[in-house]
Amino acid sequence: MNKKQRKQDKVLKNTFIFLGIILVGFILFFIILNYINSFEYQGVKFEINKNEVRGQTLYKTSIPVIYGGEEREYNLYLREDPRELEKKVPFAGEIVFRKNLVLKTTTDNLFCNGEWNYFQLQLKNLEIFDIRLSVKNDSLKYEPIQSYMFMTINEGNQTEIRNIGGNAYDINVNNCEIASIADRLLLDAIIKNNELYNN
């Protein structure tokens, strides 16, 4: 092997080493980026999504659903960080979801800045978990009672969910934080669905 060939081999070897370093760098970059933009909360994987709605950070997860006889992924989005929701919307105990969710509001002061629309849209997502929504009608009898959960929405000094006995809950909303309530309810349903699906 002459001197010129050895020099060419050295250049070729260095080129491959350089390209290998660049490739490893790209792979590490994407692994770190994926790690930063995703996390797991109570067994549920979430992705941080800044592209779905301009100027808004959303937290996306997917659940399996059967559509047209095939299993597919259904995407759900939260505006609130799931890791912060327990602090923002405290609830002592656990929400036991029933087949029917009956809502009653005691105030009109929650219809602000589109927050009520967001609340309704998020609760509509509960139908994916076979939970039907309805508005409280005092002339109806809700039987069998075990199939129903009742939530009364009030204005309060603190945003929270409280069990007031059996399958009845008070939702107290401070400073029009009804969207946070919606995210907390949907998050609890997602977690419970994930536990059922994976057991």
Claim to verify: residue 189 and residue 118 sit in the same structural domain: yes
82 and 55 within one domain: yes
Residues 7 and 50 in one domain: no
Residues 16 and 108 in one domain: no
The domain in which residue 53 lies consists of 40-197
**More reliable by pLDDT, 109 or 100:** 100
Tokens of 57: 């950070």
Tell me the per-residue pLDDT of 133-142, one tens digit each, with 9 for 90 and over. 999 998 889 9
In angstroms, the CA 148 to CA 133 distance is 10
Q: What are phi and psi of 39, to 5 degrees?
A: -160, 170
Helix (H) or strand (E) segment spanning residue 39: strand 38-41
pLDDT in tens, 154-189: 998 999 999 998 899 999 999 889 999 999 999 999
Q: State the average pLDDT over residues 111-129.
A: 88
Domains held by the chain: number: 2
* Higher-pLDDT residue of 23, 71: 71
Q: Are residues 165 and 140 in the same domain?
A: yes
- pTM value is 0.78
Query: Angle 178-197/115-124 helices, nearest 10 degrees?
Result: 10
